[in-house]
A = this chain, B = another copy of it.
């Protein structure tokens, strides 16, 4: 089967492509098109492999998407967990917003957030994909709530503030940023949105 990490000598004809490279390419296509918008024809052409190779290596389209989503969270959403390590609530907000900016409006990657794209779109067939993306997002949002509750306990968020409300508010802004980024809003405008959000943020 597939062994992306260990390059153990196997029998049979060796694979002619690098599964990690191919997966990174698939991620890029899914990121541009969404799950349903990415056809197997476009995927296989971009990855430089044929459909049987794709199915042998990754299972099927849905399994490929989940692996791409894993890669996305591992490599592109790492700013989230590192943001939670900021010393203050304001620092967390700053790192989250600037991280979102860098990740979803960079020059080298598609614009917008794969999670937002996949949860908003599309038809009925992709329902299980949608649910999975929403579930993953919920767990990372819970971590943010916990962090802000800690901030309130530590005093850098005022006693009468609502950590849960602030957390969902913050992710709302981040998701709005992704929508705008995907719609082609300029980076400069997005930076002003982040600045405005931080200017409103109710803590030091």
> A residues bordering B, Cβ < 8 Å?
33-34, 36-39, 112, 116-117, 119-124, 134, 137, 162, 164-166, 168-169, 171-180, 182-185, 189, 192-193, 195-197, 199-202
Complex interface: chain B residues within 8 A of A165 (CB): 192-193, 195-196
Q: Most chain-B CB neighbours within 10 Å: which of A162, A172, A202?
A: A172
A42: nearest residue on chain B (CB-CB)? B124
Complex interface: chain B residues within 8 A of A199 (CB): 202
A171 to B171, CA, bound (A): 14
A116 to B113, CA, bound (A): 13
Complex interface: chain B residues within 8 A of A36 (CB): 36-37, 121-123
Given contacts A36-B37, A121-B117, contact A169 B183 (CB under 8 A): no
Name the contact of A137 in the complex, choosing from B112, B177, B183 (C-beta under 8 A). B183
Complex interface: chain B residues within 8 A of A185 (CB): 168
